[in-house]
Amino acid sequence: MVAAFVIMLATTAAGIAWQFVSLNAPSWSRASHLSIDDIQLIFLAVGIPLDTAAVLSWLLVALAVVKSSRPPRPYPGPVGYPMAPQPGFASPQPGYAQPGYPQPGPQSQQPPG
């Protein structure tokens, strides 16, 4: 997926650079005595491969994103409890929940009023 993204960035950058280079086309005809047909041939010879590479790179990125989107694995333990400790690490002491997680405890009941 990273390679497809890098190819997409490279072809997009090359396409943008070609747009700036092609702005100088009038000076090409004056300095190099190029005809309109020669300039059109240059534009076709550069533009078509760049556009084809850009389209293919976007398709590669889309394919990589589709292939990488897997459904998340379900948590094997009971819901609402922290995961088991990793090998080599002690389990957390009861009563010390991680920040952001509700601490298990008895439910307080409100008297009917």
Spell out the per-residue pLDDT of the chain, length 113, in tens.
788 888 888 988 998 898 888 888 888 777 878 888 888 888 889 889 988 988 888 898 888 888 877 666 665 656 666 666 667 776 666 665 555 555 555 555 666 65
pLDDT of residue 27: 81
Q: Record the pTM.
A: 0.51
Q: How far is CA 103 from CA 15, 76, 97, 108, in A?
A: 55, 20, 6, 14
Judged on CB neighbours under 10 Å (0-12, 13-18, 19+), 57 is buried
Task: Estimate the crossing angle of helix 36-68 against helix 2-22, to 10 degrees.
Answer: 160
pLDDT of residue 97: 57
